[in-house]
Amino acid sequence: MRVDISALLKVNGRSMDIEIDGNPEMFDKVSSDIQKFNKLHLKGVLVNSAGILSFKGNLSFSYNTGCGRCLSEVEQDYTFDVEDVFCSEASLKEEDDYFYTGKELDFSKFILDNIALAIPLKHLCSEHCKGICPECGKDLNKEECSCKDEYIDPRLSKLKDLLK
């Protein structure tokens, strides 16, 4: 995810188009939930303002993972605007600021941070996913099971006796 910025740094006010395709291995660092990576694309413009490079663009990525309730495959697709500034390593003030080294800017950390912010803690195939029955293991989205019917809340069993 490295870009040669030597030409950009030479002229104050110059801008540079950025277009990068990411590699799948980057996802391993973000979440163990992500099994399969489909795409990762960063596009935007980098502008040199007296050695401080500001980036504005958008990030899109998608991946496959399993639903947290029923384990079925879920595809997640994201596209959103991103922007930040990169200063030279020598003028770095805060440790977590983004920076470039020499004539190279590595977008990896910037991309990983933005991905980490965007992905949910838990993935669901649908808000209404019924999950898997803990008793019989059936996928309750596909079929009904009778486990629930047989289970009677002890607080209600007395009531049921009364109704006999």
Main-chain dihedrals φ then ψ at residue 21, nearest 5 degrees: -100, 130
> Least distance in Å: CB of 66 to Zn ion?
8
Amino acid at 97: D
Among 8, 55, 69, 123, binds Zn ion (CB under 5 A): 69
> Least distance in Å: CB of 131 to Zn ion?
6
Q: Is residue 15 within 8 Å of 84, Cβ to Cβ?
A: no
Q: Is 55 exposed, middle or buried (0-12, 13-18, 19+ CB in 10 A)?
A: buried
Q: How far apart are CA 76 and CA 74, in angstroms?
A: 6
> Least distance in Å: CB of 34 to Zn ion?
16
The dihedral sign for the CA sequence 114, 63, 129, 131: negative
- The stretch near Zn ion (CB under 5 A) out of 11-19, 22-30, 45-53, 145-153 is 145-153
- The stretch near Zn ion (CB under 5 A) out of 3-11, 91-99, 111-119, 123-131 is 123-131
For Zn ion, the closer of residues 93 and 142 by Cβ is 142
Q: Does 46 bind Zn ion (CB under 5 A)?
A: no
Q: Does 140 bind Zn ion (CB under 5 A)?
A: no
Among 52, 135, 157, 159, binds Zn ion (CB under 5 A): 135
